[in-house]
Amino acid sequence: MIAVYVCAGIAVYAALRVIFQRNTMRKLPFLNVVSFAVTGTIALLLPHPITIAAAAAYFVSSTLESNAIASTWTGGIKKDE
């Protein structure tokens, strides 16, 4: 089943693009590709109904984290003093 190889390979490629990209905001689309690929790998490793919840939890949390990084970079989050 070569789908797992595709997802794992794309994860490594995108991780290397993340590291070698200099600009912080332009790293985030590559990090998004890493999240997609790891979510696919998770689902392909263990086909069980609860895996859908694990994959969705990982993906949504990773998206929320990227969003938080991007928002804080522009100074968007209000400071709670």
Instruction: Give yes or no for a contact between 73 and 25, defined as CB atoms under 8 angstroms apart.
Output: yes
CB of 27 to another protein, least distance (A): 5
Selection from 16, 60, 19 nearest residue 36 by Cα:
60
CA distances from 63 to 11, 36, 57, 71 (A): 16, 10, 10, 12
CB of 20 to another protein, least distance (A): 9
CB of 1 to another protein, least distance (A): 6
- Phi first, then psi: what are they for 46, rounded to 5°? -140, 95
